[in-house]
Structure 1
Amino acid sequence: MVGAGLAAVVLFNFFSGEEIAKDEFEKLDNKEFEVVYEVIGTNVKDLDYGIGDNKRESSETVENPKLPWKKKVTMKGIATAPSLSLILGEGDGRADCVITINGKEVKRATAKGEFGTATCVAASPAGHAS
């Protein structure tokens, strides 16, 4: 009888812990964060940046952007990955893509030369409790 009682306590604690973990995951997965995308330089033909959240991610393209270019978006989700890429046009050029999350620069890449490319992809900060 003691063994059955102990098993019930262990099972209760296991399932309670599972519920707590699920609640904590959902709380973190719904945590919003601010992303600032920036492109600085010359001769950028087009750029592509990520938008969305834990339910649906997508991207938007800007052709022949006026530089310097900047866009602020709010995202959420543990698996959401902010991304920014660019391609230079014909002729010489040089440009940087930059991703800043919650005020901290987290990624930077440089494209150089004719049709050069640069891509920045950052991890979501939502998986970190704060």
Structure 2
Amino acid sequence: MKRSIRTAVRAVTAAGVVAGLAFGLTACSEAVDQVDKVVDEKYEVTYEVTGKNVDSIQYHGGGGEAMNPKIETVDRPTLPWTKTVTLRGIMPAAVMPVAADLTGTEVTCRITHKGKVLKEETGEGLATAGGCIAESPVGG
């Protein structure tokens, strides 16, 4: 009798594990589908750089992979400088002014999305301190 009960308990437990795995795989599949939708969604940002003595500006222009974006560069930009780009999914928006000589370098960088400022930084050392980086507004 005890052996029959143990066998029945094992069968029910095994059925529960199989059902749990099936549910887990379905939930995982749905999560992957959601991530795929977010990764494929596009969004537009506008980069702005103002100030003086900026030798170049580097920015994410939309190429490359979401977590390994291609960095584009503008040499000897005329300030104020503005550029609107289309990014996708979880790709962060980023713009970095670069200056070889920081003497008298006062720079502001700004990233906007649909009229809302996502990130803004101002400073003398900003031209070598990383500029502005903003998280993707998609899927948040």
TM-score, length of structure 1 as denominator length = 0.80
The answer to which of 6-15 and 115-124 deviates more is 115-124
Q: Answer yes or no: is 1:87 the counterpart of 2:92.
A: no
Residue 4 of structure 2: aligned partner? none
Alpha-carbon distance change, 11 to 70 in structure 1, aligned in 2, over 3 angstroms: same
Deviation per CA, 1:73-98, whole angstroms, max 9, x where unpaired?
Answer: 000122x1221111346552322111
The answer to which of 118-127 and 37-46 deviates more is 118-127
Contact 1:100 1:107 in 2 (8 A): yes
Q: Answer yes or no: is 1:8 the counterpart of 2:18.
A: yes
Larger CA Rg, structure 1 vs 2: 2
Residue 44 of structure 2: aligned partner? 34
Alpha-carbon distance change, 89 to 111 in structure 1, aligned in 2, over 3 angstroms: farther
Alpha-carbon distance change, 25 to 54 in structure 1, aligned in 2, over 3 angstroms: farther
Secondary structure of 2:79 counterpart: coil
How do residues 108-127 of structure 1 correspond to structure 2 at under 5 angstroms? 108-112=120-124, 116-118=127-129, 119-127=131-139
Alpha-carbon distance change, 22 to 32 in structure 1, aligned in 2, over 3 angstroms: same
Alignment partners' CA distance in 1, 2:139 and 2:63:
13
Residue 30 of structure 2: aligned partner? 20
**Percent of aligned pairs sharing the same letter:** 34
**Alignment root-mean-square deviation, CA:** 2.5
| Structure having the larger proportion of residues in helix | 2
TM-score, length of structure 2 as denominator length = 0.75
| Structure having the larger proportion of residues in strand | 1
Secondary structure of 1:125 counterpart: coil
